Structure 1
Amino acid sequence: MDVVIPRRARRTHSEAFKQSVISACSVPGVSVAGVALANGLNANQVRRWLRERGVEPPCRCAREAVSLAPAAEARFVPVALVPGAEPRPVIRLDVQRGEARLKLEWPIEAADACGAWLRQWLA
């Protein structure tokens, strides 16, 4: 009896694929790890491809300073509510009796019916 041990085959990628990944990494603000993940690769593999081709990986730590306009003063902004769109109050119960577990939402307007049903269920 011959025992064959399966060997893990290395994946090979075409040069065109490698160049497309490298060019995607050269876009400002893009992370090498993000490009690698999107292409099903390990980030270290992509960094090696960059290093082998003499491409400088983008440095995310030395970004150019971005000047921001001064923030506007915070103020109250009124919001118009649509009539009838308010959330209706409900009775929420989480009851366990033996092996039975019950999660219940009941309209607050029918609280008396909820109480009667709950008394009957627990009896």
Structure 2
Amino acid sequence: MDVNPKQRRRHSAEFKAQVLAACAEPGASVAAVALSFKLNDNLVHQWRRGRGASPASSATSTTLAESAPQFIALSLPPPSPPPSAPPSAPAPAVAPVAADAIRLEFKRGALGVSVTWPVSAAADCAAWLREVLR
């Protein structure tokens, strides 16, 4: 039987489940399993990630669901207020920052620098910050 090299092969859900089960065996590598089934290992990787797998196969979906990481919601405590300045030192005069601005503060020893960028120029801010942090 001649197969047109430009024509894609179609694999049944049972075949995909068999390949994925072989990948799930302890010590099995995806490349070795793909080679044994005469498949490209990239295709098997796609099947493992859930792309190209038929939803009709319950074994395939169960295997993928077991290996997929689960989202875990964490509750975080509310942020603590910043420490206040000592009462003997005068408070520095800081202009109010607009809600749509990016504010960066750098401190190195006694030197402190505060930079404010508009959110509309966030890409420029990121480029500048990369240069500063080099």
Fold equivalence (TM over 0.5): no
TM range (shorter): 0.3 to 0.5
**Larger Cα Rg: Structure 1 or Structure 2?**
1
TM norm structure 1: 0.38
